[in-house]
């Protein structure tokens, strides 16, 4: 499995023995808040960011960069087989050391991802955590991108695309299914069963129409920064829509001394959460084209629907 504290670990044992003469304590169902990553927690597409990062390092050509960005656009309009594309793209890492890629991603790429966190998304995550909800990131990206983001937000649970490793090196294969579309549904259903999630009271946040089946799983679907197709669905179904303000851009470097260049200024810290007031919440998309946020409703408070 691929959640909770990293590859291979499982949050709870799915096998519970019911021994004769022993009463088994049942854990009450848990409310969860599931977050997509790109354009939901962060203001960029992490795949496009990683391609640009590798291009800047000279690891991919301009033509390969253009092909990668073109694939992203085809995916957004629903004309790309993302499962096949992901398998082909990830095959490039065959033979590379897992630890080397993890170190490079954490030290050089992850700061860019963390800077892209929406302040309102950070606030929403903290709000659900304060309510005692289980919070999880559900993404088609790999652990090397998702894990630093989860740590920055204090999120323990992650579902992501896993790369197969043998003797410390990538084999060029993924652990099926890839965590996109039907693969994302597969892993999420495993996680829901494992963790005892009550879907009727749970939340799912996403920007993409490709996650429509996941929005339909929960009692509280919330559409964030939606693509045009998902926005039309949200208006039709009167689902709450959130439009997040982009994170502040990095501060420009301070002017150096006239005698010559000085040391490069450190990158600014990630955006922090707004003051601990009630976080903005959602309202039906049909009420406005770009709705202003209002407080997030707690389960059962009305507005969003509970479904069994």
- Residue among 7, 13, 36, 306 flagged as catalytic: 36
| Euclidean distance between CA atoms 197 and 170, whole angstroms | 33
| Tokens describing residue 9 | 């670990």
First CA to last CA distance, the chain: 26
Residue 150 CB neighbour total at 10 angstroms: 25
- Label the pairing between strands 134-142 and 32-35: parallel
294 catalytic residue (yes or no): no
Rounded Cα gap, residues 264 and 120, in angstroms: 30
H or E element in which residue 54 lies: helix 46-56
Give the pair of three-digit tokens for residue 274: 């707004």
Active site residue 38: yes
Sign of the CA dihedral with 162 first, then 14, 36, and 102 last: negative
From 7, 13, 38, 211, the catalytic residue: 38
Neighbouring-strand partners of residue 230:
none
* Catalytic (active-site) positions: 36, 38
């Amino acid at each position: 499995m691929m959640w909770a504290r990293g590859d291979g670990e499982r949050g709870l044992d799915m096998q519970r023995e019911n021994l004769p003469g022993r009463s088994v304590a049942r854990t009450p169902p848990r409310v969860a808040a599931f977050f997509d990553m790109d354009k939901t927690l962060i203001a960029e597409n992490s795949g496009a960011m990683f391609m640009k990062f590798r291009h800047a390092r000279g690891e991919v050509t301009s033509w390969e960069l253009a092909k990668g960005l073109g694939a992203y656009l085809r995916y957004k309009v629903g004309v790309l087989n993302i499962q096949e594309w992901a398998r082909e793209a990830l095959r490039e890492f065959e033979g590379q050391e897992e630890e080397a890629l993890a170190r490079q991603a954490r030290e050089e790429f992850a700061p860019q991802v963390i800077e892209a966190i929406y302040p309102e998304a950070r606030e929403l995550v903290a709000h659900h955590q304060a309510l005692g909800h289980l919070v999880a990131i559900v993404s088609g990206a790999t652990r090397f991108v998702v894990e630093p983001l989860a740590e920055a937000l204090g999120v323990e649970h992650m579902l992501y695309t896993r790369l197969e490793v043998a003797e410390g090196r990538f084999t060029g294969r993924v652990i099926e299914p890839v965590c996109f579309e039907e693969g994302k549904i597969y892993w999420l259903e495993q996680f829901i069963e494992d963790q005892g999630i009550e879907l009727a009271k749970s939340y799912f946040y996403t920007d993409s129409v490709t996650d429509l089946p996941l929005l339909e799983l929960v009692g509280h679907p919330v559409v964030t920064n939606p693509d045009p197709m998902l926005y039309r669905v949200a208006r039709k179904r009167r689902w709450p829509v959130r439009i997040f303000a982009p994170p502040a851009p990095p501060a420009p470097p301070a002017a150096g001394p006239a005698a010559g260049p000085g040391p490069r200024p450190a990158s600014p810290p990630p955006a922090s959460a707004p003051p601990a007031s009630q976080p903005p919440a959602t309202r039906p998309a049909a009420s406005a084209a770009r709705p202003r946020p209002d407080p997030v409703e707690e389960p059962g408070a009305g507005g969003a629907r509970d479904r069994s």
